[in-house]
Amino acid sequence: MRDSSSLDIAIERDQGKASSIRRPFLRVLPSAITIIPVSMLFGVLAYRADWSMLEVLAAGFLGFTGSGQFALLPLVDTNASFLTMLIVCASINSRYFPIAFTTTKRLPKTFFARTFVSHMLGDEAYATERSGDTVKETLIIRLTIFAFWVVSGVIGAIVAQVIPSAWLTTDIHLGFPASVVLVHLSVSQIKMRVSGIFLMQSVMVLTCLLLATAFYWWLGPTYFWIPSVIMTAVVLDQWKKHE
């Protein structure tokens, strides 16, 4: 009887572990799939610009940002210095600093693990995560997006060797699926993070929109993200405290 009970407990424990991995993976999988064509497009364009496979892999692994990586392509063509490319990429990615600051509670404790998980933060991962996620769930979500992005970029470079150039026209908008998913995830985040009557939710959303608009007109389209994300996080946090 004891052996049977121990076996049942072990099975339930294994099922619980598998479920704790499967749930966040299935939650992030749609977002991960939608970034495949965007990352593949970068790989294709990078190969057309005479980038090696190693350079495409390094750009995805170290840069891990669609806008930053695409901005590097014309800079390389103009023989820009490494410092110039670093400054441009850092400026584009500066919006992730306030975003990462709002997720510190669900990051690992050790320095290197904390740094690596922070590095894997992206728009899709942030929109998929929940405030109550554990460190393990956060790692699975970010690692899934990160792996899909890096691998898809390399696959795009491989595919570029065999596809005709005529297929790469300006009429193809490969970023559209990712944009749609981001809008859906943003709406889902609002529904998930706030509660109460619809009127009060509308007031909260309107407040965040007005703050973002004010920062946009004040700081311009490049840097309005930073204070907008911080203030939106503060509004959401205060909202949760007074529910």
- CA–CA distance, 229 with 94 (Å, rounded to integer): 11
Per-residue pLDDT, 146: 92
Q: If you average pLDDT over every residue of the chain, what do you get? A: 76
Task: Please determine, for residue 205, whether its predicted confidence score (pLDDT) is greater than 70.
Answer: yes
Task: Please determine, for residue 241, whether its predicted confidence score (pLDDT) is greater than 90.
Answer: no
> What would the mean pLDDT of 19-33 be, rounded to a whole number?
86
The larger pLDDT score, comparing residue 223 to residue 176, is at 223
Per-residue pLDDT, 8: 43
Per-residue pLDDT, 9: 45
- CA–CA distance, 62 with 113 (Å, rounded to integer): 15
Task: Please determine, for residue 96, whether its predicted confidence score (pLDDT) is greater than 90.
Answer: no
Per-residue pLDDT, 147: 93
Task: Please determine, for residue 22, whether its predicted confidence score (pLDDT) is greater than 70.
Answer: yes
Per-residue pLDDT, 152: 92
> Do residues 19 and 136 make contact, with C-beta atoms less than 8 angstroms apart?
no
Q: C-alpha dihedral over 30, 155, 122, 170, to 10 degrees?
A: -90
> What would the mean pLDDT of 166-193 be, rounded to a whole number?
62
Q: Binning pLDDT at 50, 70 and 90, where does residue 12 land?
A: very low
The larger pLDDT score, comparing residue 2 to residue 243, is at 243
Per-residue pLDDT, 151: 93
- 103 φ, ψ (degrees, to nearest 5): -115, 15
The larger pLDDT score, comparing residue 166 to residue 232, is at 232
List, as one string, the DSSP characters of the chain. Answer: -HHHHHHHHHHHHHHHHHHHHHHHHHHHHHHHHHTHHHHHHHHHHHHHTT--HHHHHHIIIII--HHHHHHHHHHHHTT--HHHHHHHHHHHGGGHHHHHHTTGGGS-SSHHHHHHHHHT--HHHHHH--TT--HHHHHHHHHHHHHHHHHHHHHHHHHTTTS-GGG--TT--TTHHHHHHHHHHHHHHHHHH--S-HHHHHHHHHHHHHHHHHHHHHH-TTTTHHHHHHHHHHHHHHHHHT-
Task: Please determine, for residue 10, whether its predicted confidence score (pLDDT) is greater than 60.
Answer: no
> What would the mean pLDDT of 148-167 be, rounded to a whole number?
86
> What would the mean pLDDT of 31-57 be, rounded to a whole number?
85
> Do residues 134 and 106 make contact, with C-beta atoms less than 8 angstroms apart?
yes
Task: Please determine, for residue 223, whether its predicted confidence score (pLDDT) is greater than 50.
Answer: yes
Left if phi > 0, otherwise alpha if psi is -120 to 50, otherwise beta: which for 75? alpha
> Do residues 220 and 189 make contact, with C-beta atoms less than 8 angstroms apart?
no
Q: Binning pLDDT at 50, 70 and 90, where does residue 2 land?
A: very low
Task: Please determine, for residue 209, whether its predicted confidence score (pLDDT) is greater than 90.
Answer: no
